[in-house]
């Protein structure tokens, strides 16, 4: 069973007879397995937020189905299994962190004792125990975002949907959110989030999906998606006077901790380099595959998609 599943999903905004219709989703097919961190990527206006809103019942699809843990999202009960953090949310500034979580607990019918226990647990999880009795009007952006995650977790959901959770945070704030998300995955939760900060997505996500013009154009694990762009061969014992010669065979050589690292792109001849290493008294410690960065992959994939669409129009 998938945590999230959409089939033939369409969403068009605009009045029935309006000429200015916006096709936000166009046959979106998405499958997110359980217990992964899934990064949902795409340029502005690609349909990320619309997809999230459909999953949460905030927007009604024009056509198609979406399911959460196998249940159609038309069924309001699906929302019992989901925690949600919207993009740039505002909180009631006159409430303290503790009062706000209490309010969220009341909405999902927790009794007073359960609420008290749960809010203490959550404040500790997001590192805000010290601010439990402070009014949220004085909270920093990072603290507010952590409060947002705490409220999303109030019902101990199996699926957590976050819309741009790390956008606008400083490095410390981003590190906090990353830590929390990784901990949640360890607890067996599924995390589905949209983001523009690809370096963070690359470090956190098990899987990514790329959406453009309302269609999923890529989906899979990072290893599956990114192309190999070369290899780093870590060696020891290569005669130092031979390294200048060796650099002509590969892209460059780095000396680090007594190792000579030969960096080869796909254009280099790996066999020649290996022979060179052994001929000069060296031995290979390990080879590390080099993959293109997610950002490069993302840009390449979006550009290809745009080009294909243009060609289709012409």
Using CB under 8 A, list all residues that contact other proteins: 13, 53, 56-60, 76-77, 79-80, 82, 84, 86-92, 94, 103-104, 106-109, 151
Cβ pair 178, 107 in contact under 8 A? no
Q: Quote the least distance from Cβ 168 to other proteins, whole Å.
A: 14
φ, ψ of residue 51 to 5 degrees: the values are -60, -45
Q: Cβ of residue 225: shortest distance to other proteins, in angstroms?
A: 30
Enter the tokens of residue 141: 């952006």
Distance (Å, whole) CA 14 – CA 290: 46
DSSP-assigned states of every residue in 84-99: EE-SS----TTSBHHH
Is the Cβ of residue 69 or residue 217 nearer to other proteins in the bound state?
69
Q: What is the closest distance, in whole angstroms, from the C-beta atom of residue 84 to other proteins in the complex?
A: 5
80/199 with CB nearer other proteins: 80
CB closer to other proteins out of 69 and 305: 69
Element (H, E) at 122: helix 112-125
Q: What are phi and psi of 266, to 5 degrees?
A: -65, -20
| Per-residue tokens: 125 | 């999880």
Q: How far is the CB of 162 from other proteins (least distance, A)?
A: 12
Task: Give, in degrees to the nearest 5, the angle at Cα 246 between 241 and 252.
Answer: 115
Please state the closest distance from residue 72 (CB atom) to other proteins, in A.
Answer: 14
H or E, element range at 295: helix 294-313
Q: Smaller CB distance to other proteins: residue 84 or 262?
A: 84
Give whichever of 77 and 311 is closer to other proteins, judged by the CB atom: 77
């Amino acid at each position: 069973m998938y945590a999230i599943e959409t089939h033939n999903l369409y969403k068009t905004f605009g009045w029935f007879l309006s000429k200015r219709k916006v096709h936000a989703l166009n046959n979106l097919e998405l499958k997110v397995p359980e217990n992964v961190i899934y990064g949902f990527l795409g340029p502005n206006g690609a349909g990320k937020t619309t997809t999230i809103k459909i999953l949460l019942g905030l927007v009604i699809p024009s056509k198609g189905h979406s399911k959460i843990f196998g249940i159609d999202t038309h069924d309001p009960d699906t929302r019992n299994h989901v925690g949600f953090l919207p993009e740039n949310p505002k909180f009631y500034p006159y409430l303290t962190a503790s009062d706000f979580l209490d309010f969220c607990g009341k909405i999902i019918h927790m009794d007073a004792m359960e609420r008290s226990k749960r809010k203490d647990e959550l404040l500790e999880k997001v590192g805000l125990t010290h601010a439990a009795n402070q009014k949220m009007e004085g909270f920093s952006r990072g603290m507010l975002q952590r409060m947002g995650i705490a409220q999303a977790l109030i019902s101990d959901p199996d699926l957590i949907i976050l819309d741009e959770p790390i956008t606008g945070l400083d490095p410390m704030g981003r590190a906090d959110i990353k830590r929390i998300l990784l901990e949640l995955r360890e607890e067996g939760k599924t995390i589905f989030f949209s983001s523009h900060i690809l370096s963070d997505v690359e470090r956190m996500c098990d899987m990514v999906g790329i959406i453009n013009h309302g269609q999923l154009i890529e989906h899979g694990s990072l290893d599956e998606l990114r192309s190999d762009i070369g290899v780093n061969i870590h060696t020891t014992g290569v005669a130092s006077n031979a390294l200048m010669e060796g650099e002509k065979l590969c892209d460059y050589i780095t000396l680090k901790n007594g190792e000579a690292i030969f960096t080869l792109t796909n254009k280099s001849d790996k066999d020649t380099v290996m022979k060179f290493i052994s001929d000069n008294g060296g031995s290979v410690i390990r080879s590390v595959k080099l993959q293109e960065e997610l950002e490069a992959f993302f840009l390449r994939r979006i550009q290809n998609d745009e080009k294909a669409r243009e060609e289709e129009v012409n």
